[in-house]
């Protein structure tokens, strides 16, 4: 981790963690299929502000499946690399191998990302990289996810 990123995280994380001390240590992390419409098998989550998307109630992987969470990419292109335990990584790879698989990574009640995985290759076993664009938000989200380990 470079010095600028390290300094930014060192300055921001204590403030973030102190402000969220009353909250549960793990807001819940899920890898879940995005559905085209609401049904008894879906639930709404926030995406990009006030917009809602429907996701399956049964996730592919959850916080219990996390193996490692780290900030990568430096201060120019910060991202969160989420590595799952081998069994969950294999399940995610197998499930997302369906062509044009709609996947969301959900933290609490917010979809951090919603993508369609094209080509039928699936998510590899090396993990999922979530790029949020802003260093401060990336650090805060990474810290929240790390609370699930």
Q: Where are the domains of the chain?
A: 3-146
Question: What pLDDT is attached to residue 50?
Answer: 85
Q: What is the pLDDT of residues 6-44, one digit of tens each?
A: 444 444 444 444 434 434 578 899 999 999 999 999 999
Q: What is the pLDDT of residues 55-89, one digit of tens each?
A: 999 999 999 999 999 999 888 889 999 999 999 99
Question: What pLDDT is attached to residue 60?
Answer: 94
Question: What pLDDT is attached to residue 43?
Answer: 96
Which fold does the domain 3-146 belong to in CATH? Gyrase A; domain 2 (3.30.1360)
Helix-, strand-, coil-residue percentages of the chain, each rounded to 5 = 30, 35, 35
Q: How confident is the prediction for the chain on average, in pLDDT?
A: 83
Between the alpha carbon of residue 68 and those of residues 104, 110, 113, the distances in Å are 19, 21, 19
């Amino acid at each position: 981790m470079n010095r600028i990123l390290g300094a930014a995280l060192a300055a921001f994380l204590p403030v973030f963690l102190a402000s969220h001390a009353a909250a549960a240590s793990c807001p819940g992390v899920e890898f879940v299929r995005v559905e085209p419409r609401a049904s008894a098998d879906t639930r709404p989550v926030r995406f990009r502000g006030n917009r809602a998307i429907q996701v399956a109630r049964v996730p592919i992987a959850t916080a219990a499946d996390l193996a490692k969470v780290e900030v990568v990419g430096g201060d120019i292109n910060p991202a969160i690399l989420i590595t799952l335990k081998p069994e969950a990584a294999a399940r995610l790879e197998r499930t997302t191998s369906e062509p044009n698989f709609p996947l969301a990574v959900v933290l609490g009640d917010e979809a951090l990302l919603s993508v369609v995985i094209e080509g039928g290759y699936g998510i590899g076993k090396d993990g999922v990289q979530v790029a949020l664009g802003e260093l401060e938000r990336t650090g805060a989200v990474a810290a929240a996810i790390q609370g699930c380990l």
